[in-house]
Structure 1
Amino acid sequence: MMDSQEVISLYETVATITDQMLMAARNGDWEELIALEARCTRHVATLKANEAPVPLTGAVRERKVQIIQKILSDDREIRSITEPWMDQLSKLMSSVGTERKLNHAYGAAPR
């Protein structure tokens, strides 16, 4: 189990990564975003596996709350950037699939 300082340090690392994820999303760097998301997932898994269920003291608890609020804020903004892009990609893929079905059904040569 991790002590409170190790827990806070790991939460800070996650916050740093989510900040980097936000920058990658803003820049449209989807490969970097995916790589950072994988790193973030590993750190969160470490937290889940090792964070002791011990109540934190006032200052440490406040710091943890601030960090979590930052992480959640970054996550909301990342989603506001990626969800429209994902919707557009989904529509494009659906359109291509429909076009292939029509071409196949009516014997049109593929492009």
Structure 2
Amino acid sequence: MNSLELLNVYEKVAHITAEMLVAAQSNDWELLAQLEGDCSTHVSTLREFEGPSELPADLKAKKVSIIKRILADDRAIRDITEPWMQNLANLMKSSSTTRKLSQSYGANQMG
């Protein structure tokens, strides 16, 4: 894969992460998960084909700009999803504790 093709893959990743951010802002977790899978596929392609190469200054600047956009969107997505995931974990922990208490003490309540 040549440098221009790799830049095209970076652009696709940037486009998908922008869509992921919109999905996260809309609380569309299903779409976010789907887009995350699409993004992962492209990132795997980058990992497979990216290697040390000298890019002309303009392409290098473009690549850096794309990566900065991806990282900014990723940070914004994490800012939205991490508190949501923590709340979900707390709910699950609470539900599990309630269920354990019910199993432990609920049987003793029967008179």
1:52 Cα deviation from its structure 2 partner: 3.5
Identity among equivalent positions (%) equals 51
1:5 Cα deviation from its structure 2 partner: 0.7
d(CA) in 2 for partners of 1:72 and 1:30? 20
1:74 Cα deviation from its structure 2 partner: 0.1
Cross-structure match for 1:3: 2
1:12 Cα deviation from its structure 2 partner: 0.3
Cross-structure match for 1:40: 39
Amino acid of the structure 2 residue aligned with 1:28? N
Give unmatched runs, 5+ long, in structure 2.
none
Cross-structure match for 1:31: 30
Structure 1 contact 3–52 (Cα < 8 Å) conserved: no
Structure 1 contact 15–70 (Cα < 8 Å) conserved: yes
Matched, 1:12 2:11: yes
1:106 Cα deviation from its structure 2 partner: 0.4
Cross-structure match for 1:58: 57
Q: TM-score, normalised by structure 1?
A: 0.94
1:107 Cα deviation from its structure 2 partner: 2.0
Amino acid of the structure 1 residue aligned with 2:16? I
Which whole-Å deviations, capped at 9, do the CAs of 1:46-88 have from their partners, x for residues lacking one?
Answer: 0110123212110000000000000000000000000010010
Q: TM-score, normalised by structure 2?
A: 0.94
Q: Size of the alignment, in residue pairs?
A: 108
Structure 1 segments of 4+ aligned residues over 3 angstroms from their partners = none
Which whole-Å deviations, capped at 9, do the CAs of 1:3-59 have from their partners, x for residues lacking one?
Answer: 111011110000000000000000000000000000000000001101232121100
d(CA) in 2 for partners of 1:97 and 1:106? 14
Cross-structure match for 2:103: 104
d(CA) in 1 for partners of 2:106 and 2:31? 41
Amino acid of the structure 2 residue aligned with 1:48? R
